[in-house]
Amino acid sequence: MFPIRDTIPSRNPPIATWLLILINSLVFFFELGMPPQELEQFFRLFGLVPARFTHPGWAVFFGLPADNYWPFLTSMFLHAGWLHIIGNMWALWIFGDNVEDRMGPVRFLIFYLLCGLAAALVQWFTNPNSTVPTVGASGAIAGVMGAYFFLFPYSRVVVLAPILFFPVFFELPAITYLGFWVLTQVFGGTLSAVIPVGGIAWWAHVAGFAAGIALHFLFIRRGRAYRPPCRDEYESEVAWVPFGYWEDSW
């Protein structure tokens, strides 16, 4: 199922979301101008290579600085292809504006980066000997999706699903769509432990999603910065948050 849009309008311009999409796009176009060998080395230097930090001697042998931890940050701005970046930026566009609306641009940026760092750390812990660079914003975006899951569970998400080769559009509650998405990540991560399959950082996605749920409380804006709920948001927060949070969130 591919998400097309959600039904929750944002009150404020999603400046941070636009900025993140712009930065990721500019970096990707910079990558497109590189020869294959140079791009591979670029990914090794700025992507997350877990073995680089687990085995410093191996890293030095292959010319990778073992004491440089910037890849935990820079890796989330790299993408391996058109489908990779389009899928990630589309998800960020759909879910990021509403979460940013609740946090404000600066808090949202910090929240986004922290979720990405949590995903990168879990990727390292779960694949400590991997020599394959991990790149992509999906861990950070999973954190945004985790926050959206908690803040807007009754929002509607319009999805596209191919049924018998025909595209079918229908709506799902956000809690259903995002709940199904994170379960597929858990299933993929569990299956990959039995049948090793490269290409997708399953547990990094799960970690980002969990970090989004755990951290978003710290970044929600208080006061009157937010609008009244739309029809498909009613009772969403009451169903989730602790007593006293509902009154403070307006």
pLDDT in tens, 58-94: 888 777 887 788 999 999 999 999 999 999 999 999 9
Helix axes 138-151, 174-194, angle to 10 degrees: 140
Residues contacting 169, CB < 8 A, separation 6+: 4, 158, 159, 160
101-110, 162-171, 177-186: lowest mean pLDDT where?
162-171
Q: What's the predicted TM-score (pTM) here?
A: 0.86
pLDDT in tens, 119-163: 999 999 998 888 889 999 999 999 999 999 999 999 999 988 887
Rounded Cα distance between 13 and 5, Å, is 17
Domains of the chain in start order, with CATH, are 2-248 (1.20.1540.10)
